[in-house]
């Protein structure tokens, strides 16, 4: 059963270039914050804050245990596919 888009979540996602860029990247790859920073040229502090925001929105998930402090690995959550489809449909010239 397909989950429906929560338009408040979608709005929050696309209202920030950092959130959008990091979400799109994690929809394609599984990466650490350092790798995300390197690929996006976003400072590591902004990456960390954005990852926390995306986790709170349940768009991404951390694959490593909470014991790991550095080198955590993140990926898009299972339910986030519909958001990526909507981004692709609406912003296809950019992503």
In-domain check, residue 52:
yes
Tell me how far apart the alpha carbons of residues 92 and 52 are, in angstroms, rounded to a whole number: 26
How high is the pLDDT of residue 77?
96
Regions of the chain where pLDDT drops below 70: 1-2, 92-95
Q: Report the predicted TM-score, pTM, of the whole model to 2 decimal places.
A: 0.89
How high is the pLDDT of residue 1?
40
In-domain check, residue 29:
yes
Q: What is the domain-level CATH number for residue 14?
A: 1.10.10.10
How high is the pLDDT of residue 60?
98
How high is the pLDDT of residue 2?
55
Tell me how far apart the alpha carbons of residues 2 and 81 are, in angstroms, rounded to a whole number: 10
How high is the pLDDT of residue 67?
85
How high is the pLDDT of residue 94?
64
């Amino acid at each position: 059963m397909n989950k429906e888009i929560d338009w408040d979540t979608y709005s929050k996602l696309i209202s920030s270039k950092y959130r959008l860029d990091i979400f799109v990247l994690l929809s394609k790859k599984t990466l650490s914050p350092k790798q995300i920073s390197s690929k996006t040229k976003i400072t590591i502090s902004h990456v960390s804050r954005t990852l926390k925001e995306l986790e709170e929105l349940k768009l991404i998930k951390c694959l490593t245990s909470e014991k790991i402090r550095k080198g955590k690995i993140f990926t898009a959550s299972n339910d986030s596919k519909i958001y990526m489809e909507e981004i692709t449909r609406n912003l296809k010239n950019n992503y």
